[in-house]
Structure 1
């Protein structure tokens, strides 16, 4: 079984993994076995096609999406194609990271115009910061419970409207066309 990860393991260039041949690199997303992928960590399941109530109840960002996952053969085709061709763009912690790679492979959805905050991690960070910036002053003086309730509500709504499954600025993009999609003229692609 081969999984995809941008994490590193204890295998160096001189000491490849005996199971999968993985060698430690710092070049973004790579292919490895499950042991190299986990590197002593735990495996978490990202859920697709969740309903809105479940999505809002999952306060921790980066665990689920309203978007549907495509069939496994489509997901694997995208992942293997991108690993061979390297057409997913330059790795960036906030705008183009391993989570964005995985969500694209699973759904085929891509944000049309990349900008700060287009990545899943950036969206969660911006949603959290909006809680602090946009809290009404009256609630800040009312009670700590009121602040927490409003803040949590705003955070959940921010996550909901920025989920790739409900955004208006995403398109289903064939993996073979992905290299040309980092151009702002993506209007040639139909919306989901």
Structure 2
């Protein structure tokens, strides 16, 4: 990994890594937690990555790499209303390039990154805790997917840190962090 790229190869992945892959010509990234054995747990909108169901979603999805609507036989099919899924690394990447999200970066590095959504100042919890959270949410869900307020990046950051960013409607202060009791 370098200053401007978090690109990694598969051999360097460890359980508990927060990974992502850019989609639709770098318009957005899809995030997940690598849990080992070529598996990724990630949060989607009922199995679809993009969140609002608008015409813009159609354009973004149609401009990305072509994918089968049926996941491979090793991936779990998305349940109706339940957006946390487990898939193999190939299905998660959907033909894209693999990147690792950085934690505990310095303020200078955080400011130097050319794009948001690639690193944070927050510390990561130990990998066994991260994998436990991801598996817990695979079984219990992560609420309703919303591209702006509760998305795949929020899911992965929560798995890594136990921190949630709550919106104004939830507690009356924008951007307040909350530590949850889910372990």
Residue 114 of structure 1 is matched in structure 2 by: 167
Q: Indicate which of 103, 111, 118 corresponds to 1:48.
A: 103
Residue 150 of structure 2 is matched in structure 1 by: 96
Q: Is 1:10 aligned to 2:64, yes or no?
A: no
Q: Is 1:171 aligned to 2:171, yes or no?
A: no
TM-score, normalised relative to structure 1? 0.56
Q: Quick one: structure 1 residues 64 and 93, their matched pair in 2 at CA, closer, same or farther if it must change by over 3 Å?
A: same
Q: Quick one: structure 1 residues 23 and 171, their matched pair in 2 at CA, closer, same or farther if it must change by over 3 Å?
A: closer
Please give the alpha-carbon distance, in whole angstroms, between the structure 2 residues aligned to 1:21 and 1:28. 14
Instruction: Give 1:114 deviation, angstroms.
Output: 2.2
Any stretches of 5+ residues in structure 1 without a counterpart? 117-161, 177-192
Greater Cα radius of gyration, structure 1 or 2? 1
Instruction: Give 1:25 deviation, angstroms.
Output: 6.5
SS at match of 1:75: helix
Instruction: Give 1:24 deviation, angstroms.
Output: 6.1
Please give the alpha-carbon distance, in whole angstroms, between the structure 2 residues aligned to 1:24 and 1:30. 6
Residue 190 of structure 1 is matched in structure 2 by: none
Instruction: Give 1:171 deviation, angstroms.
Output: 2.4
Q: Quick one: structure 1 residues 108 and 24, their matched pair in 2 at CA, closer, same or farther if it must change by over 3 Å?
A: closer
Q: Quick one: structure 1 residues 25 and 35, their matched pair in 2 at CA, closer, same or farther if it must change by over 3 Å?
A: farther
Q: Quick one: structure 1 residues 25 and 40, their matched pair in 2 at CA, closer, same or farther if it must change by over 3 Å?
A: farther
Residue 68 of structure 1 is matched in structure 2 by: 123
TM-score, normalised relative to structure 2? 0.58
Instruction: Give 1:22 deviation, angstroms.
Output: 3.5
Q: Indicate which of 92, 106, 129 corresponds to 1:37.
A: 92
Any stretches of 5+ residues in structure 2 without a counterpart? 1-36, 50-66
- Cα deviations by residue, 1:69-121 (Å, 9 ceiling, x for unpaired): 100111011111011011x210000000001000000000112x4238xxxxx
Q: Contact 2:103 / 2:122 at 8 angstroms: preserved in 1?
A: yes
SS at match of 1:49: coil
Please state which structure has a larger fraction of its residues in helix: 1
Q: Contact 1:82 / 1:175 at 8 angstroms: preserved in 2?
A: no
Q: Comparing both chains, which one has the higher relative contact order based on Cα–Cα distances under 8 Å and sequence gaps of 6 or more? A: 2
SS at match of 1:170: strand
Residue 183 of structure 1 is matched in structure 2 by: none
